[in-house]
Chain A
Amino acid sequence: MSLPKPAMRGLLAKRLRFHLPIAFGLSIIAAVAFKFTVTEPRKQAYADFYKHYDSMKEFSAMREAGVFESVRPTGK
């Protein structure tokens, strides 16, 4: 029985030629997906929060609640 001679060389190269583009592609897709589902919304949330943020109002509220040690609540 005469079988065809099997591939003796270039086995790793063949495997890499197939798998490397897939690996790089999937990694890039994962990075892009993360950027647009996590980091961009997060940046937007912070931007929205600080757009109308009144720091003095928040400070007074926190002071009245009594969480600071450097300034006591007004009154008393």
Chain B
Amino acid sequence: MRPANTCWHCFQMLASRALVRGLQSGFWRRVSTSSAAWAAHTHDVDVIDCSVPQYNNRLDTPLPDVPFVRNLSAEQKKLKEKEKGSWTQLTKEEKLALYRLTHELSYAEMRQGSKEWMTVLGGVFIFLGFTGLLVWWQRVYVYGDVPHTLSQESVAQQTQRMIDMRVNPVHGFSNKWDYEKKQWK
């Protein structure tokens, strides 16, 4: 979208002149594209001039810095002239047209929301699942053996020692062991 208030022809001339100078420098002669193709490429680049006020759709600024439509057509200009008179003369369609000239989205449209969250959540789960597969492969093929203290026999010995030591006798571990009958309660 070319910006309305720059001299496009001047820009194109400068661009081609710079390109010719670049070509004459010799090094990039074979690599550089033709000036027409290069100009066509810059045509697609969307440069926003951040040094001037911009339009924005925000819930907390009902009146943005600039109106949405800057370049009015002839009949839009006529409508703007009519707006300078009494507003009771305007029809409903004209009022809506004036609103759409100054605003891109209405408050309802701004608040609308989308179904993007489903895509996001789906993507997150897909990648979590894939990561799970990688972690599983890692567990099988990379990790070494587990310490011997996690074997059944070792755990039984540790549990017996904890019971002998009376670990947490009031509320916790040893509380659940019946010392007379030598079994869990």
Contact = CB atoms under 8 A, between A and B. Distances in A.
Interface of A: 42, 45-46, 49, 58, 61-62, 65-67
A45 B165 CA distance: 20
A49 B164 contact: no
Interface stretch (B91-99, B107-115, B138-146, B166-174): B166-174
B169 A49 contact: yes
A67 B161 contact: yes
B173 to A, nearest CB: 14
B165 A49 contact: no
Which of A46, A58, A62, A67 gathers the greatest number of chain B CB atoms within 10 Å? A67
Q: 4 tightest CB-CB pairs across the interface, nearest first?
A: A65-B164, A49-B170, A67-B165, A67-B164
A65 B161 CA distance: 8
A65 B171 CA distance: 22
Contacts of A42: 171
A67 B163 CA distance: 10
Interface of A, helix, strand, loop or mixed by DSSP: helix
B166 A62 contact: yes
B164 A45 contact: no
B166 A45 contact: no
B164 A46 contact: no
A45 B161 contact: no
A58 B174 CA distance: 12
Contacts of A58: 166
Nearest to A46: B170
A58 B165 CA distance: 10
A53 B112 CA distance: 69
A12 to B, nearest CB: 19
A27 B118 CA distance: 38
Contacts of B169: 49
18 contacts: A42-B171, A45-B170, A45-B171, A46-B170, A49-B169, A49-B170, A58-B166, A61-B164, A61-B179, A62-B164, A62-B165, A62-B166, A65-B164, A65-B165, A66-B164, A67-B161, A67-B164, A67-B165
